[in-house]
Structure 1
Amino acid sequence: MIKRPIIGITMGDPAGNGSELSVKALTDPKVYEECRPIIIGDANCMEQAVKIAGKEGQIKIHPVEEVKDAKFEYGTIDVYDMGLVDMEKHIFGKVSKMCGEAAFQYVVKVIELVMKGEIDATVTNALNKEAINMAGHHYSGHTEIYADYTHTSKYTMMLAHDNLRVVHVSTHVSLSQACSLVKKDRVLDVIRIANQACKDLGIKTPKIGVAGLNPHCGENGMFGTEEIEEIQPAIDAAMEEGICIPEKKPTPPDTVFSKALGGWYDIVVAMYHDQGHIPLKVKGFVYNKELKKWDAVAGVNITLGIPIIRVSVDHGTGFDQAGKGTSDALSLLNSIEYAILFARNRK
């Protein structure tokens, strides 16, 4: 039996609900049966979150300065204590330089720990892009931070919920810029990354669907030529390498995800951010209009192509819910499960 991997979980923006989600996720004893989790964050925030989550008497916070000092015992949450939050200035739901700096440093630290081999995989709670930029760190999100600090140039984002998986040719850019980034070399790189990701998940021969960019894949050039000039050449090159693309051509974006749900593909290559995000969130985010609350906020975000494992919740900082004790930890639990799966397959 493979030893339980050590999973480093960043607390996210201290003004958000990441600390509460972390407490709720780690009250599930199954997590400790499968891995050894440690929170990278502030112990004071986590102590506060225990009260907010209503887990006093059940959960104790154990601050540590080094991973080797963690207990990894159910009922005790180990926290790699960064001590970056002044609780007298801490306000839930408010964008601040202090919280942006803290959230950024948690991410930098977890990357450092995994690169040094002290932990096996990383899971990230949400940060606030405005807050980290306010703190002087000019990144558009976790993906770009991880790529920078691991010195990676060819990477992409994968979203996953159950057996629906999507990777992206581009992510955090304008739509007009996204269209200009659909180039053969980039599409081919993302197809290769998608293929390897599925293998890392234990899929022996992944089946890959490649979405078109234009309506009906351009109708032979009537509505755009990207499919002819960029996407098809990338597909041809990938198939020459032995990668399985069942349709041998781009699939119209209005049907590719229905086919994926039907089992045609193990993963879909989407051409831009919203093309991939919308179907995943339609499936994973379920709002109860009668109770006026979210029944589920499921799905995970995985950075592929980097030399370490990074899985994230597929939602924001929850500023509107922070501090209220009502946040749902399902996406974080999903993320931990994926991190464990990747860690085991890589070992």
Structure 2
Amino acid sequence: MGTMSKEHRVGIADVAAAAAVSVTTVSHVLSGRRPVSERTKAKVLRVIEELGYRPDPSARGLRTGRSHAVALVVSDVTNPFYPLMAAGMQEVLQPEGFLISVCTAQGTTQDLDSVIDHLLNRRVDGVVLASLNAQDRHFNDITAAGTALVRLSGELDPRFGDIVRADDTGGMADVVAHLLERGYRRIGLVNGESDSAPGQLRLAGYHRALREFGLDVDEDLIVTESFTRTGGANGSHTLLNLNPKPEALVCGNDLMAVGAMDAIRERGLTVPGDVAVTGYDDIEAASLVTPRLTTVHNPALEIGRACARLLLDRLSGTPSEGVREVVLPQKLIVREST
């Protein structure tokens, strides 16, 4: 059986004619939603391969009312955590025929407003909202438009979609406890944005660990910067100017920790000889810097997979009692920086 000419786009009617079946039968084979005999299914699939037929996503969207597009909205596309999360989403969604776009909403909440407006105008089927500055009104805008939402922050609220989160408070408590068990007592925190969920939860973990060891929190040892390498360097310089300086710096993420190492070296000090450093997330760079970074493994791939599964459940109409929350465990990774 020959293929169609390059000038002719193979359509579902061509497949039906070549397989000697109805267009409806071909549609059922493609969608998998109606039973078709194995013999007929095999014949249709063979013809599809021979003709090089590819379903038209826009036409399918018109029939189903779906765009088969999903967006991941992040705060910093250069942070290696988010590409890993997107890869996890792709593992689950791509075999189901969904395309994933990654959108960046840096800076103000107005930036996020614009991104969400654009996505809703494009009629995406679902949004995974991982932006650090997401607020209740953003959740409401998405769900009010009938768009499936999974978020990485916020309180359990049946109006605002499902939640996937890692145990940021427990993870930060573990890394601070690790330092305390090694004898460090003057421990500085170089944290990310205080109005973000990770910033708030990781600060709570820092407080928890000190409290459990019977220590008071010294507010002078806590600084807030952006979740970036530059933010980590700036915050570390602030703390290293103290007298006495901190014995260890706990950072809000690995990028900040790399910045902390920069600041320590600029002062002619060593890690961990003069100041120990810890990070958070366990991105690839954590095991490549010298010394290798003690950190908390934040399961970005599995977070992405979990978000995608929840979206698919919502889009398929799977019954659910209210909002669902998936909390994934984190793991302390001890390396040479402590």
Q: TM-score when scaled to structure 2?
A: 0.30
Q: Which has the larger radius of gyration?
A: 2
Which structure would you say has the larger RCO, counting Cα contacts within 8 Å and 6 or more residues apart?
Answer: 1
Q: TM-score when scaled to structure 1?
A: 0.30
